[in-house]
Structure 1
């Protein structure tokens, strides 16, 4: 069963609690699940939101972005979300955001559909900010990514949705500090503003570093390399039941030829090789950290045949699963 809601429906089901001029909480509790959004309003038109949700049924929320020219920096800590954006030039009409990765996008004045998977806890931290935040610091923007430079000069430039890669250890530390803010009132505002700015610096710097790496590729455009990183993120999220090559290529907006060639050139492996490597690494963790039967571990990481799993494991690591477990003392 799939629950379909509009933004208006969602608002009517939610309980909006205004704590003070700087904080707001929106909660939903209904028969198909719960969600909450904790908002903090900071200086420089910065808004910080901690979103959490878990639904017992699949949920699709239809929403519309207004025409305000703000950017969204999103950091997925758990769960994920599929979004469809029909007929938006320059943006994939069907993309996924997954746990452990961060995104930056500029999508004013569009219609979108957010797809939530049943029985999956989602937690993400989002920062909403305007391009003029950057111009308040200096007048030279040559070191910024080109899309941000264009937005500063003209906020009506084309929309984009930019996957920026895995959340780095430095980002993860700041995210943890935001979630565990030890202060109240004025000190809380000061602390969170500092952490939000630090997180934006880390994200924009990551984008810049990515662009330097992208320049090494002669065959692929920068946006195509980003799509390949997005493909990796999808495979990480759906390891036990990964999409087919054609379906994965469709999700990231490349053809299957570029997907296969891109994995070889950018990551040094094939799509299947990458999935196999991830599965076997997960199997190592289960062998080391649990007492599950080897057949059950094989099944959990996506192999129905225990003998085939054992063959691949030994080829990869030089020992059988049983010998590896015994060596680790389990």
Structure 2
């Protein structure tokens, strides 16, 4: 989505000098084309509203360092999202009734919106500093424990990779429609949108907490074991432990270990290993010290053909072609001196 993508680009630039530049108390409402609006409700809390008629598809490429936590709500249309990130690649289409909780730090990709259908959606963007401070202010006098997933989000200095898709519940749908049909202007509009956005955040956190309890039975100790298993898995790419061996080493069943990897990293143990090998292979190709076959075996692939297939699937280019591009860039760079 072009307008939301532009917001992401602004956020990426802002994050580079956030600590050296004083925060502005308020930013004016921003309009990025017909049917798309953005509001800064508080420093670190932004709202994007989309309600556009059928148009020619618009594609926006983007690249991010840090990224906000985003809650998005789709009422109509089918925008396409494709994001490459540290744990792999995520692609999905928005559809009516879809709710997505996401954070894609250190990522790049594109958004495409438009087509023959009307597009109506809403997205909330939460800066980690704002989210942590705001939630902790309301946790001071609480005695009841909070969901481990919510606790992790609150205590993060920067958001980890996250992409959870669910079905909008009736309460969420009602609030989203109220926001998109806001009847006020000026100060009243700002107050209305802020109150409804906070209400939607409450509904979202409630869904996250309840779904994590019903779908994932991981305890904080289990999560720690999952991260220990991840470190063991990638320690030796040539001789990594198998799934059952790894599960025994961290005192988890292989089913719970795979469940934990999906919960924490969005992929299974095997897929995480494959993606890590591909990323390490790219780093080796970037050094220009090895050819494709040497890199394939150095990163634990059984054959150059298997490596080529995995690399092409991840980066949309053959490793041989990628290596040639890197070599050409170096030649051009040296020619400048």
How high is the TM-score relative to the length of structure 2?
0.52
CA deviation after TM superposition for structure 1 residue 62, in Å: 0.9
For these two proteins, the number of residue pairs brought into alignment is: 206
**Structure that is richer in helix per residue:** 2
Asked if 2 retains the 8 angstrom alpha-carbon contact of 1:40 and 1:49, the reply is yes
Listed as ranges, the matches of 1:136-215 within 5 Å are 136-139=137-140, 142-146=145-149, 148-156=150-158, 158-163=160-165, 165-215=166-216
The answer for the alignment partner of 1:25 in structure 2 is 31
Kindly indicate which of the two structures has a greater share of residues assigned to strand.
1
RMSD: 3.6
Aligned to 1:37: 36
Aligned partners of 2:103 and 2:159 also within 8 Å = no
Checking the alignment, whether the CA contact within 8 Å between 1:108 and 1:159 is kept in structure 2 is yes
Task: Give a deviation string over 1:261-289, Cα, whole Å, max 9, x none.
Answer: xxxxxxxxxxxxxxxxxxxxxxxxxxxxx
- In the TM superposition, residue 137 of structure 1 has moved relative to its aligned partner by 2.1
Aligned equivalent of 2:291: none
**Mapped partners of 2:196, 2:260: distance in 1:** 29
CA drift at 1:117? 6.1
Partner of 2:101: 104
* 1:316 paired residue number: none
How far is the alpha carbon of 1:49 from its aligned partner?
Answer: 1.0
| Residue ranges of structure 2 left out of the alignment (5+ in a row) | 10-25, 219-252, 269-337
Go from structure 1 to structure 2 and tell me whether the alpha carbon gap of 1:135 and 1:72 turns closer, same or farther (over 3 Å shift). Answer: same
Q: Partner of 1:270 in structure 2?
A: none
Q: Distance in 2 between matches of 1:192 and 1:47?
A: 10
TM-score using structure 1 length:
0.53
Shift of 1:73: 0.8
Following the alignment from structure 1 to structure 2, what is the Cα–Cα distance between the partners of residues 150 and 38?
A: 31
Contact kept, 8 Å, 1:91 with 1:159, in 2: the verdict is no
Q: Which runs of 5+ in 1 are unaligned?
A: 12-19, 28-34, 228-251, 255-330
Deviations 1:280-304 (A, max 9, x none): xxxxxxxxxxxxxxxxxxxxxxxxx
Distance (Å, rounded) in 2 between the aligned partners of 1:156 and 1:110: 14
Q: Does structure 1 retain, via aligned residues, the 8 Å contact 2:65–2:106?
A: yes
Provide the secondary structure at the position in 2 that maps to 1:127: strand
